[in-house]
A and B are shown apart, each in its own frame.
Chain A
C-alpha cells in the first residue's frame, strides 16, 4: 500500500461514506448558459411549460448576486461556469429497467436497500421505509411504489412526476419557494435535474415512512435536486432525508429546494440527517450545502422539521414554515454539529399569518475544533395573526476554545396579541463532567459523545427510531478528535 493510499485510509476512518463508485456515467459539458438548461430539459423530455419555468428562473438568477449575510467566512467564491450540471449513470441498453448492480452495491453499503423483498424481509429496521434513491443528477430507484399506490399515494422521482402527473406538479411547483426566492433557489429552479415527488391523498395516513437518499458521486459536479411533497387534506406523512458524498479535496455544490404543502388538517413530519462530506482536518474539500426548504401550512395543518446536521464544509439552510391557515402549528428541532473547519449558519423562519398559529423552535448547536456554528432565526407575526404563539430555545455547546457559537434571532411582531418567547444558553462540557465519566471507566472520547448525546436528546428523540440511532452514531463519529 503506498503512502497516499494509507493517508487516505486514515482520513477516511472518520467518514465512512467517503468511497467512490466506479460506474459508467454520462456528463454534459461544464458550464451554465441557456443552452445548458435546454439540454437538461430535453434530456428529461420535459414539456414546454417546465422549460419556460427554468428559463425564467435562469434570467432571474442572472440578475441576482450570492447572499453574503451568512456567518460563513469560509464560503468560497463559486465559479458557476466550472460545474457540471448533469451527471447520470448510463443504463444498460439491453436491460433498461434493471438497476446497475454497482449502484445497488453502493446503496447497500450506505445501508439503503433498493430491493423491496430484501428490505421487507430484512432484519434491519429500515425495512418499513420506502426510499427514492438519487445518484448525482437522477433518481435511480424508488421502492414500494406499488404498495403505496394501493392507497393512492404517489411516490416517485420528480422527473417521472412531471411525465405522469403534470397537473399536480404544475399546480404546486414553486408555490412555496418561488423561482426568484433567493440566489440558490433561483439556480436550482433553472438547473434542477431530479428529486423526489410525493402526494398523499385526502384523509390517507401514509402506512410507512418515505425517504429520499441523496448521493453525490461524480467529481466536478453539483447536485441540484428538488423535492415536492403534497399532503392533501387530513392526510399524514413522515418523511426522511439522508445524504452522503465521496471525499475529495475540492468543494462540491449542493443546492436543493424542498417544498412542502400541508393542506387543511394534514400532518407532515420531515426529518433530515445531513451527512455530506465535511472536508478534511485541514478544511480541504467538502460539500457546500446551500439549501432552501420551506413548508406551507393551511388551516389546522401541522408541519414538524427535525434536522441533524453533521456534515458539509458549509451549511446554509433555514427550513421554514408559513403558518398561513388559522390554528396551524409548526416545530423546528435542530442539532447542528461542526468540527475542524466546518461552518454552519442554520435556523428557521416561522411566519405567522393565520390566527391562533403556534410555533416552537429548539436549536442545539455544538461547535468543536476551529469551526463556527450559527443559529439564525426569524419569528414573524403578521398583523392578522391574532393570538399567535412562539417559543424559541437556542442552546450552544462549545468543545474547546478555538470554535465559535453565534445566535442571530430576529423577532418581528405586528400583532399585539401575539406572545413570543426566546431563551438562549451557551455552555461548555465541564471538566467535572468529563472526570466523573472517566472515573467510571468511560474514556474522554466516549464521555464527550455521551454528554453531547444527552445535550441533543430533546431533538434526537423527535427522529424516527432508526434515524435516531444513526444520528447518535454520526454525532459521536464526527466528534472524534474534538477533545484532547
Chain B
C-alpha cells in the first residue's frame, strides 16, 4: 500500500507554472528524502499537498492511501494524518502552544468520532511530548511562535508532530539553520515516529540530517519535475558534485 502517490502533478502560483509533472510514490512505512536546488519547487509541492491557498493544480493527481487528496480541505487532510513541519512557522499572538495544540488534538479526535481528552489526560500527553523534544513544560505557555528563536520554532514543529502522531509527515527544510542539538531533536523526532504505519517526506538541502534520518529512498526535484531517484548514493553525489551533476 502506498501512503502517497503523486502522478504527473502540475501546479502554478499566480499563473506561473512551478510544478511540471511531478511523479513520486511513498510506500507506507518508508521515509523518503526530497532534495533539490533553490527554486526547484520543493516548497510548492509541500504547499500543494497540504492545500495551502494560492496554489492551482492544473494537471495530475495525488492519492493518499488511495484517496483523492486534492479533493480534501486542508483540515481534512490533517485529520487524515497528513502533517507539515513548516519551513517558516507562523506566529499566533495571544494563543498559547498549549491552547493551540488542545484545539488541534480535539479537532482531530472529534473528526475521528472520539471523545475529546480530559484536561488531565491532555496535560499528561503535553508533558510527555514536551519532554520528548527536550522542552520544559513552561514552554507550552508561550504564545505560538511569538519571539521564538529559529531553533525553538523548529523544535516546536517537531513537538506538534509528536502530539498529532501523523501517518505522513512532510518536513519542509526543518533542518535549515539549526545547530547540532536542535538538528538531533529533529532527527530523533522523525526516527521515533518511524514505524510500519508511519511515513515521512523529508525535504532538505543537506546531507547532515539524512545521515541521522537515513531515508529509504531519495528523489531529486529540479525545475519542477523529478530528475533522479535512488538510494543514499544520490545524497553523496549531490554533496560532492552538486545538483549540476544530476540530469
Contact = CB atoms under 8 A, between A and B. Distances in A.
Given A446-B103, A450-B103, A440 B78 contact: yes
B141 to A, nearest CB: 12
B143 A442 contact: no
Contacts of A430: 90
A433 B93 CA distance: 10
Contact of A454 (B83, B94, B164): B94
A30 interface: no
B53 A441 contact: no
B84 interface: yes
A436 B92 contact: yes
A441 B104 contact: yes
B103 A438 contact: no
Contact of B104 (A432, A442, A453): A442
Contacts of B77: 439
Interface string A448-465: 001101111110000000
B90 A433 contact: yes
A431 B74 CA distance: 13
A435 interface: yes
Contact of B164 (A438, A441, A453): A441
B78 A441 contact: yes
B95 A442 contact: no
Given A435-B53, A450-B100, A443 B95 contact: no
Interface residues of A, number: 23
A442 B94 contact: no
Contacts of A432: 90
Nearest to A444: B75
Given A446-B107, A450-B103, A439 B94 contact: no
A216 B245 CA distance: 78
Interface in B142-193: 143, 160, 164
B50 interface: yes
Contacts of B124: none
B99 interface: yes
Contacts of A451: 92, 95
A451 B95 CA distance: 7
Contacts of B86: 436, 439
Contacts of B79: 441
Contact of A436 (B89, B99, B143): B89
A481 to B, nearest CB: 17
Question: Could you tell me the dominant secondary structure of chain A's interface residues?
Answer: helix
Given A450-B92, A457-B94, A431 B53 contact: yes
A433 B51 CA distance: 14
Nearest to A434: B53
Given A432-B90, A433-B90, A450-B103, A439 B95 contact: no
Nearest to A432: B90
A458 B93 CA distance: 11
A454 B93 contact: yes
A455 B94 contact: yes
Contacts of B54: 431
A455 B74 CA distance: 24
Interface in B69-101: 73-75, 77-79, 83-84, 86, 89-95, 99-101
Interface in B38-55: 50-54
Contacts, number: 77
B198 interface: no
A436 B103 contact: no
B108 interface: yes
A441 B166 CA distance: 11
Nearest to B77: A439
A457 B100 CA distance: 14
Interface string B89-133: 111111100011101100110010000000000000000000000
Contact of A443 (B53, B75, B89): B75
Given A431-B53, A435-B53, A436-B86, A442 B103 contact: yes
Given A440-B160, A441-B78, A441-B79, A453 B92 contact: no
A442 B75 contact: yes
A450 B95 contact: yes
Nearest to A440: B104
Contacts of A443: 75, 107
Contacts of A455: 93-94
Contacts of A441: 75, 78-79, 104, 107-108, 111, 164
Contacts of A444: 75
A47 to B, nearest CB: 51
Contacts of B75: 438-439, 441-444
Contact of B78 (A433, A439, A446, A453): A439
A440 B95 CA distance: 14
A453 B96 CA distance: 11
Residue in B53, B74, B111 whose Cβ sees the most chain A Cβ within 10 Å: B74
A436 B93 contact: no
A136 B247 CA distance: 81
A223 B217 CA distance: 73
A456 B94 CA distance: 8
Contacts of B89: 436
Contacts of A457: 94-95
Contact of B95 (A431, A454, A458): A454
28 contacts: A433-B90, A435-B52, A435-B74, A436-B86, A436-B89, A436-B92, A437-B103, A438-B73, A438-B78, A439-B50, A439-B86, A440-B104, A440-B107, A440-B160, A440-B164, A441-B75, A441-B78, A441-B104, A441-B108, A441-B164, A442-B103, A442-B104, A446-B103, A450-B100, A454-B92, A454-B93, A454-B94, A456-B94
Pairs A-B, 6 closest by C-beta atoms: A454-B94, A454-B95, A441-B78, A438-B74, A440-B104, A457-B94
Given A436-B89, A441-B75, A451-B92, 11 more contacts: A431-B53, A433-B92, A437-B92, A437-B104, A439-B77, A439-B78, A440-B103, A440-B164, A443-B75, A451-B95, A455-B94
